[in-house]
Amino acid sequence: MKRGKQKLDWKLIGASEHMGFLKQEIEYVAEKIKTLDMAVLIMGPSGTGKELIAKAIAEQSGLKLITINCGAIPSELFESELFGHKKGAFTGAFFDKKGLVEEAENGILFLDEIRDLALHHQAKFLRFLQDKKFYRVGETTQRTAKNIKIIAATNMDLGKEVKEGRFREDLFYRLNHRIIETIPLKNRRIDIICLVNHFVHGNNIKIDPKVKLLLYSYNFPGNVRELESLIYSSDDFQYIKNALRNNVVSSFGVDLAFISQFKSLDEFHRGINMQDFLNIAKKQRRFKTPTEDIDKEEVSGPERLLRNEDAYNFLAATFYAEENECSRIVEAYEILTLKLCPGLTRDEIANQLHIRPEKLSPNGFKNNYGFDFSIKDNTFSYTEPTKLFPDFSNYWAHILRNKSLNQ
């Protein structure tokens, strides 16, 4: 039976260095924006929390936030939404209406997806930014909104858009007093752990360890928004498995039917010579240059698989996991990965993972997971094997090869 959709709160959850940077930026901007006529531009891929950053700035500065999505409003209605209109100004204007710039007086106007603003609207908005004066549509009386702060966001590179003539250069420089950039979730994999555990425990969602295993092995092209969507289906392992397998395997150029013929990792090893695989992978990394195209010629499914170590690692992590190993493997990976966070204490990591701190004691960790666990001044040190495994699939493939948790 499917669970009803809940609201999953993901505001500024994470322990990566990037999340630390974002929090510092929010604090800095929230302080400055209260007294300066500062415009802030937030740039980054869709689903990385640009609107949440704007909300956090507003909350910390104590200013109200008025939001307009530049891509969701029809072009012919945008000026009316932004500046308001006079009764009778156009068909359907049955009464005088304040625009969002007036609503945002003494607060912040947040323009989401500002790249979608048409060039002629960009010109009118720039004129407003320069003198804070405007006309409601159909009105001849000039109005002012002097005490208004501006935050804009886009998933495009506005510098590139300016060069290609799709965004006004003068408006770009009027908006970028401070630029905050977000990065994809795949480049801050530590935050995947924090987000998954936050979603699951904050909403009382039961999640199978094999689902976590799949999530930690995935790159999330849709970022946090995609992760959130998959969490809604976390009780349907087959759905998530199929969604992620097809996406990742197709990106490697490997035939899913070929991979699926192997029913276990041992069977996979017998069908694929692991040493040949590693030799080819090492040779690729050593000799391949940006101008070379080693994979240009047509090759069979098994050969393509041998040429891609990431493909092997993903398969080892997701296709052939033994049911009784998943829980320990996932938990050990979470702990070892969070060890890499500078300054995170044992209790803070336990809190992120919703586990007892006793599990993170040196003896408790070795008994549970088979690895030595060093702590210095209650802060985790950078020791093996953590630094060898920046992502889950590498870590999981290493464990399966060495069978250290099966001893």
Tell me the pLDDT tens digit for each residue of 177-192: 999 999 998 888 889 8
Q: Are residues 131 and 278 in the same domain?
A: no
Report the pLDDT value the prediction gives residue 111, as an integer from 0 to 100. Answer: 95
CA distance 104 to 82: 10
Report the pLDDT value the prediction gives residue 55, as an integer from 0 to 100. Answer: 94
Q: Are residues 99 and 203 in the same domain?
A: no
Q: Are 143 and 136 in contact (CB under 8 A)?
A: yes
Domain annotation covers residue 73: yes
Domain annotation covers residue 11: no
Give me Rg for the CA atoms of the chain.
26
Report the pLDDT value the prediction gives residue 220, as an integer from 0 to 100. Answer: 85
Q: Which residue has the higher pLDDT, 351 or 370?
A: 351
The fraction of the chain above a pLDDT of 70, given in percent, is: 65
CA distance 372 to 387: 14
Give the chain's domain count: 2
Both tokens of 148, joined, read 């208004």
CA distance 206 to 323: 16
Closest CA to 341 of 75, 55, 16, 124: 16
Report the pLDDT value the prediction gives residue 401, as an integer from 0 to 100. Answer: 53
Q: Are residues 115 and 204 in the same domain?
A: no
Report the pLDDT value the prediction gives residue 76, as an integer from 0 to 100. Answer: 82
Both tokens of 340, joined, read 């890499």
Q: Are residues 204 and 78 in the same domain?
A: no
Q: Which residue has the higher pLDDT, 396 or 243?
A: 243
The mean pLDDT value of the chain amounts to 76
Q: Is the pLDDT of residue 173 over 70?
A: yes
CA distance 100 to 145: 10
Report the pLDDT value the prediction gives residue 148, as an integer from 0 to 100. Answer: 93
Q: Are residues 209 and 255 in the same domain?
A: yes
Q: Are residues 128 and 248 in the same domain?
A: no
Boundary (domain end) residue, out of 153, 181, 209:
181
Band of residue 65 on the pLDDT scale cut at 50, 70, 90: very high
Report the pLDDT value the prediction gives residue 73, as an integer from 0 to 100. Answer: 86
Q: Are residues 118 and 167 in the same domain?
A: yes
Q: Mean pLDDT throughout 76-92? A: 85
Report the pLDDT value the prediction gives residue 21, as an integer from 0 to 100. Answer: 92
Q: Are 380 and 335 in contact (CB under 8 A)?
A: no
CA distance 184 to 295: 27
Band of residue 109 on the pLDDT scale cut at 50, 70, 90: very high
Closest CA to 350 of 186, 187, 193: 193
Report the pLDDT value the prediction gives residue 58, as an integer from 0 to 100. Answer: 95
Q: Are residues 197 and 243 in the same domain?
A: yes
Q: Are residues 213 and 270 in the same domain?
A: yes
Closest CA to 299 of 308, 312, 286, 290: 308
Domain annotation covers residue 5: no
Q: Are residues 288 and 387 in the same domain?
A: yes
| pTM of this prediction exceeds 0.85 | no
Least confident of 131-135, 169-173, 285-289, 301-305: 285-289
Q: Mean pLDDT throughout 262-288? A: 55
Name all contacts of 172-177 with Cβ < 8 Å and 24+ positions apart.
Answer: 174/39, 174/126, 174/129, 174/130, 175/39, 175/40, 175/41, 175/114, 175/150, 176/39, 176/41, 177/38, 177/39, 177/40, 177/41
Report the pLDDT value the prediction gives residue 221, as an integer from 0 to 100. Answer: 84
DSSP 117: S
Report the pLDDT value the prediction gives residue 205, as an integer from 0 to 100. Answer: 82
CA distance 248 to 219: 8
Both tokens of 346, joined, read 């044992």
Tell me the pLDDT tens digit for each residue of 199-233: 888 778 888 887 887 788 777 888 998 898 888 87
Q: Which domain holds residue 339?
A: 188-407
Q: Which residue has the higher pLDDT, 173 or 361?
A: 173
Band of residue 311 on the pLDDT scale cut at 50, 70, 90: low
**Three-state secondary-structure class, residue 113:** coil
Domain annotation covers residue 354: yes
Q: Which residue has the higher pLDDT, 369 or 228?
A: 228
Band of residue 113 on the pLDDT scale cut at 50, 70, 90: very high
Q: Are residues 26 and 97 in the same domain?
A: yes
Q: What is the CATH number of the domain that holds 117?
A: 3.40.50.300
Closest CA to 60 of 80, 40, 84, 89: 40
Both tokens of 344, joined, read 């995170």
CA torsion, ordered 100, 103, 106, 107, to nearest 10 deg: -60
Report the pLDDT value the prediction gives residue 209, as an integer from 0 to 100. Answer: 80
Boundary (domain end) residue, out of 151, 166, 181:
181
Q: Mean pLDDT throughout 78-85? A: 89
Boundary (domain end) residue, out of 156, 181, 206:
181
Q: Are residues 97 and 196 in the same domain?
A: no
| Strand bridging mode 65-69 / 107-112 | parallel
CA distance 213 to 318: 7
Q: Which residue has the higher pLDDT, 126 or 256?
A: 126
Report the pLDDT value the prediction gives residue 249, as an integer from 0 to 100. Answer: 58
Q: Mean pLDDT throughout 148-172? A: 94
CA torsion, ordered 401, 281, 332, 379, to nearest 10 deg: 130
